[in-house]
A and B are shown apart, each in its own frame.
Chain A
Amino acid sequence: MEISELIEKLALIVALFGVTLGIAAYATYFERKVAAWFQDRIGPDRAGPFGILQPLADGGKLFFKEDFIPAAAEKWLFIMGPGIAMFTALMTGSVIPWSTDLVLFGQTVALQVADINIGILFIMGFLSIGVYGIMIGGWASNNKFSLYGAIRASSQMISYELAMGICVITIVMMSGSLSLRDIVNAQHGMNWNVFYQPLAFVIFFICSLAETNRAPFDLAECESELIGGYHTEYGSMKMGFYLFAEYVSLFTSSAVISVLFFGGFNFPGMDNFDGNTLAILGIVAMFTKTFFFIFVFFWIRWTIPRFRFDQLMHLGWKSLIPISIINMLITGLVIAFNEGWFK
């Protein structure tokens, strides 16, 4: 690997890191703002103009809290939990293609940290490892509420991963590749997957809600029953990491949804542009879609009450999985028919 390529990748990683953390920080702010608007309130407005310094104030507050490790806790696992949650949340962003190639100083820069040919598999993998962050944290706390939260989180995430995976397979069958860039390129212009696979989109979206542990599937941190769920015993920045990891995965999930179903950086009329203009417009399109989905996540959270746990399991195993399997079979049949298998 050439040295220039190394620098390019490093710069890209740092930029992506910064952007992801920045967006996650401001997602916390906008979550509170959006919640306030939905409830006819104003929301945070004291820290800086319109309260835009609120994330800094929150972070500062968390830093100055006592960093407490309970005596009965499994010390190293207790520390590892938030780290794993944060790590896995950040890793998924690395395979997402943000736009078409950018030409800078005579160099072609691919706006994607790693174009691995099994991109979507990589994301699914890291999503499943994400359970460990919650599970280890909940178990190591040595507290029954944390443990219940962790058990709920893991059973929920494992059940919803199945339906999610089947929806992904449907998309992979349509584009014939596991690479996210190929999947995006197959949705050129307005040729978005959501028009062919609306059902898969709905199921995938519901599963994303469950995977990111957000309302109405936030049973893992259900305050009314479990105090704080898996992070009951956490305080200070470890707690901050868990909360932050949730917002990071919120961002990456929205990005994955826009890549898989809404054409990523594709936008109607993109053939009129080329080169760097196209790349920059692509970034704008990609982020518009991502932000829209982040907003929808908020919107759902402040609309729908929490599911009961049995309802959650019913929905996952008895509805979403069968529907997604049927959807996959029909897609397969249609593809086979188009390829001329039945002639």
Chain B
Amino acid sequence: MQSLSNRKKVVSNKKMTFLEKIYLPAIFGGMWITFKHLFRKNNTLRYPEHTREFAPVYRGQHVLKRDEEGRENCTACGLCAVACPAEAITMVAAERERGEEKLYREEKYAASYEINMLRCIFCGLCEEACPKEAVFLTDRIVPTNFERDSFVYGKDRLVEDINDRIDITKRQHTGKRTEK
């Protein structure tokens, strides 16, 4: 019968030959291999001084986008929170009042939106779930901290600054979503 994974290997328990039994040829062979490695180029990246370049689709700290007019995209639909496998996202929805049209794009918005960066596994499913192109992961690294509470990022740290936009165009053009 064919095995399911088709990766089955028959263990061979054959008797060792004399050369194998005295170990020495194999040992010298191994030493020759390690000796060749002495002259290889090392792969070390001296970290704090040098950093590796991020891929354009690197999944780091989130951003809540605003549209061209500076209105928050998020409509507090909760799809990101549902999609999140780590249950890292919580939000409180509120209705847009008259006069707030400059602030929020839809009639409903997130009064509070929190991502717990310690729970988050940076899978990017929230980004994929979002129907309003509101939440994106960026190439920024969440900084370390001594306090656990400080890892719960509220809107103050998630929503992008209106004068200091965060570029996510690279992510928009690589995703499958735009092709559909």
Residue in B closest to A202 when the chains form the complex, CB atoms: B24
A41 to B35, CA, bound (A): 14
Cβ contact within 8 Å between B41 and A304: no
**A339 interface contact, C-beta 8 A:** no
- Residues of chain B within 8 A (CB-CB) of A40 are 37, 40-43
- Residues of chain A within 8 A (CB-CB) of B46 are 42
B30 CB, nearest partner CB in chain A, Å: 5
**A122 interface contact, C-beta 8 A:** no
Count of chain B residues near A, Cβ 8 A: 17
Cβ contact within 8 Å between B41 and A38: no
Interface string of A15-42 (1 = CB under 8 A from B): 0000000000000000000001111111
Cβ contact within 8 Å between B34 and A41: no
Cβ contact within 8 Å between B30 and A303: yes
**A287 interface contact, C-beta 8 A:** no
- Residues of chain B within 8 A (CB-CB) of A299 are 31, 34-35
A202 to B23, CA, bound (A): 12
**A302 interface contact, C-beta 8 A:** yes
Cβ contact within 8 Å between A302 and B40: no
- Residues of chain B within 8 A (CB-CB) of A202 are 24
Cβ contact within 8 Å between B37 and A304: no
**A227 interface contact, C-beta 8 A:** no
**B141 interface contact, C-beta 8 A:** no
- Residues of chain A within 8 A (CB-CB) of B38 are 37-38
B42 CB, nearest partner CB in chain A, Å: 5
- Residues of chain A within 8 A (CB-CB) of B34 are 38, 299, 302-303
Question: Which of B22, B30, B44 makes the CB contact (< 8 A) with A304?
Answer: B30
- Residues of chain A within 8 A (CB-CB) of B37 are 37-40
**B142 interface contact, C-beta 8 A:** no
**B27 interface contact, C-beta 8 A:** yes
**A57 interface contact, C-beta 8 A:** no
A77 to B45, CA, bound (A): 46
Cβ contact within 8 Å between A41 and B44: yes
Count of chain A residues near B, Cβ 8 A: 15
A321 CB, nearest partner CB in chain B, Å: 15
Cβ contact within 8 Å between A41 and B31: no
**A173 interface contact, C-beta 8 A:** no
**A300 interface contact, C-beta 8 A:** yes
- Residues of chain B within 8 A (CB-CB) of A39 are 37
- Residues of chain A within 8 A (CB-CB) of B33 are 303
A residues 202-239 in Cβ contact with B at 8 Å? 202
Residue in A closest to B35 when the chains form the complex, CB atoms: A299
A303 to B34, CA, bound (A): 6
Known: A37-B38, A39-B37. A300 touches B44 (CB 8 A): no
A39 to B41, CA, bound (A): 10
- Residues of chain B within 8 A (CB-CB) of A302 are 34
A40 to B34, CA, bound (A): 10
Interface string of B36-56 (1 = CB under 8 A from A): 011011111010000000000
A38 to B24, CA, bound (A): 20
- Residues of chain A within 8 A (CB-CB) of B30 are 303-304
A39 to B24, CA, bound (A): 22
B31 CB, nearest partner CB in chain A, Å: 5
Task: Supply 17 A–B pairs (Cβ within 8 Å), ascending by A.
Answer: A37-B38, A38-B34, A38-B38, A39-B37, A40-B40, A40-B43, A41-B44, A42-B44, A42-B46, A299-B31, A299-B34, A299-B35, A300-B31, A303-B30, A303-B33, A303-B34, A315-B23
Give A contacts to B, CB under 8 Å.
36-42, 202, 299-300, 302-304, 315, 319
The 8 closest A-B pairs by CB, nearest first: A42-B44, A303-B34, A303-B30, A38-B34, A40-B42, A40-B40, A303-B31, A37-B38
